[in-house]
Every structure is written in structure tokens, then in C-alpha cells.
A and B are shown apart, each in its own frame.
Chain A
Amino acid sequence: MLHQLLRLWLGRIAGYVVVGAGLVLLLHLPGGVYYEVAGQVEVGGQTIDQLTIAFSSDLFWSEVREFGNQVRNGSLPYHGPNSELSAPPEDFVPRLKTSWRNTLLLLGYSAGTGTVLGVLLGALYAVRSRIPRVLGLIAATLGLSLPDFLVVMAGQALSVWHWRKFDINLWQVVADPYTLKGMILPVLALAAFPMGYMARITGAALDEIMLEDYIRTARAKGLPEARIILAHAFKNAVPKVLAGLPSLVSFTLSSLVIVERLTVWPGMAGLIFTVPTRLPFGPSAGTWGDITPQVVSAACLIFLAFFVLLEGLAQTVRLLFRGIEGVAP
């Protein structure tokens, strides 16, 4: 067991280092690009410089080194969209911390809500009555089948339509997201998959367990159905439910970026995808605008760390519980 755990975490740390280093290098690639005057051309009677694109490895490595120094010093200087270039740069780290907290908050609410709802829906599979079973099946299928972007877009369209028709905003779509209302749509969209997934695996595990001899014995003894499900069947379904955690974490974190990008939630995704598009020449020479590659790299490294840590923890839980799988009550 210890050997397996060690291999699991070493593999994840190695993967994090390789992918993280690759991303940092790629993100700083634009830093090495510069323009050279190759000659002059006449356009509409005016003589203008003809520029050619070139790449300097010295420039590129100096950008990477600068990022390394900034990480060591724990500060990420940047110029805000409205600040003068001559003014001293601001530190981005406080903004990064806020977005990190926002992402964790959204993830916690949605994964928690989805998992609890999913397990409850999955428990309906074990009920002998037909209607709860069908309801559970429909909810699980909907949760698994509807893609995250559809839930967000349909929700936004509904909110906009409702707003225009009745002047009531169902949830925050376009304005200040720092409210509970701004959280409803992202949580709805993010909780749908965990709900469907957990309902499916809980239901499948309970379906199997409800055919066991000890369940038949408990029923023969006249125990109430709720107690049979919760105290006998559910206890034994836990290892199987936990086995699905790694996939759940992986899907939810991938989905998180999509949902954050589509809604106005101020999390890490917005920072990750604000990749510099302005090249360092002309009037904007020496600046990358609002977000620098260093800031995007820091956001990427934090998000990757989230992903690797949570996925690794889920795999660890699965490994630890594998030992008690199939134990009778």
C-alpha cells in the first residue's frame, strides 16, 4: 500500500513539474519575439519601415529568468489597464489570492452540492417503489448528458429573457458577480455532472448490494426499508462510490474553467486565458498590457497544483478504501 501511494504521488509530482515547466516556457515564448527593420517600402506616396518578425533566445530566457526571480520574491509587478507606464507597477499577488479563493469557493459549493444530491438520488435506485427509481434515473441521465456550456448558456438566456419580460433578474449574468446571486448559475452548471455521476455509481453499487443475502435477511427480520438502505446497503456501497472520486474531480476541474470563462465568476480561469496578444514593439514596447505572461504563468501553476493535488487526494482515498471493499456488515 505504501509503495503504491509513494508511486502515485511521485508520478503526480513529476507530471506537475514537467507540465508546469513546459507551460511556463510556452507562455514566455512571445517574450522572445521582436521586430527588425528589414528595409523601407513606399505605400501611398509615404515611405514606411518594412518589419520582419524575429526571435531572440536571449530575450526569451531573460523573461523566464525574470519570472523565476519574481516567484522567489513573491511579487508579480504589473501595470493596470489605466495606469501610466511611468508609474510604479502594482503587485498582482493580492488579486491572484482573491481569484484563487473564489475558485475554491465555487468548486467547494458545486462539488459538495452535486455529490450530496447525487448520493441521495443514487439511494433512490435502491427503493423498491417505481416512481422514485425513475425520477433518480432521469435526474442522473440529465446530469450526465447535458454539457456544462449548455447549462450556462441556457441559464443566461433564460435570465436575460426573464429580465426583459418581467424586469426580474433571476441570477447575475452580466454585472457584479460578488454576490450570492452571481454564484447560482455557476454552481448549477458545475453541480450537474457530479450529481449525475454520483447518482449513477451509487445506484449501480446499491443495485448490486440489494441482491445480497444479508439484505434479504434484514428484510426477513422486518427492519424498515430506510434502515436497510442506510445502515446495511449504503455502508457497503461507500468504497465503490469513493472509487469514482478521481474521475469526478478530473471532470469537475476541467468543467470549472469552462464555467468560469462563460460566467462572470472572478476565478483563476479568467487569468489563465488572458494570454498576451500584443507583441513587444511600437508604442507598447516593453509592456504586455493588463496581464503579463508572468501573471498567466503563476495562475496556470496554481491551477495545475489544484488539479494535481485534488486528483491525487481522490486517488489516495480510492486506494485506501480498496482494502475494505466487499466487507459484509
Chain B
Amino acid sequence: MEEKMLKDSFWIDQFLSGNQRGFTVLVEKYQNKVMNIVYSLIGQDRESQDIAQEVFLKVYHNLASFKKRSQFSTWLYRITVNATYSFLRKRKSFRGNDEVLEKITAAGSNPQEALLKKEKKELFEAALAKVPLKFKIALVFKDVEGLSYREIADILKCRLGTVESKIYRGRQFLKKEIFLKEEE
């Protein structure tokens, strides 16, 4: 059986009983997911890598305290969200990815047309960078990572209705960013 097919709890037990390979497998399995979430939230490559590293360091030092009442991924994503918030608190001047924000501003009066062209993904990321973080987190977990409302509620420790509302408002925000000028 391939290593990655084994359950997370197996590798957690391996690590806790002294087998370092257990931790390495967990990192290999989740590193890109964590990186992707952090990047989607802050839009900065180098800082995202630093935060991802900080997340796994916390996992390494605190895995013994993981109670297995939730899935490992839920616990890991919660740490990811907290580390991202902590990073943003330290950098109060953070204003998203300025480079891509400039691109959407320079896109002209018809952003939808521009979106359909070569740069549409970059422009979309610029629009995403403008979405308030509290909505963006739920949106990223839903659409980028494909989690269910229930899983997102567990990660964010909130009610299902709150998750639904955050996703709704996040999409409304994105929709306005992308389609507003066209409607004008």
C-alpha cells in the first residue's frame, strides 16, 4: 500500500512513537494544500512559504496534544488560519498583493473582457485580494480546497449558517469587483 493512502492517524501514531517518517509523510501530503491556502489569503509567495513552515513547526511541536476529536486536516487548517491571522496582525500595513492590484486597476473600463483574455487568472487573483479576509477564508476553503460547509464550520469554529453567509458575501464581493464596471 502506498504511504499516502494510509490514514493520517496512522502516521501521527508513528511519529508519536518516535518514527520521524510519520511527520515527513504528513508534510508531504499537506504542504501544497497549506501553501495554497496561505497564498490565496495573502497573495505573497515568499511570506506564504514562511507561514507554511511556521504551520508545520507548530504541528511538529504540538502533535502530541492533538486529541483526534476532529480530523487531522481540520486541526492543521485551523493552525494555518491562525498563523495567517497572526502574520497579518504583525504586518498591519498589509494591503494584499499590490502588484496584481495594480494590474486590475490598469485593466481599463471593461474588466470582464480583460478577464477573458490572457491575464484573466491574474486579474481574478487581484479581485480576490480585495475580498475582506473573513469572507475570503471561507471562500478559499470552499472553492479552492473543495471542503464542505460542515468542514469549514469545524475549522473556523462557527455555525453552518455563518459559513454560508461568509461564502455568499465573499462571492458577492468578487462579483462586484469583476462585473461592476461592465454594468456601469
Q: Are both chains from one complex?
A: no
Q: What is the interface of chain A, defined by CB distance below 8 A to chain B?
A: none
Q: Point out residues on B near A: beta carbons under 8 Å.
A: none
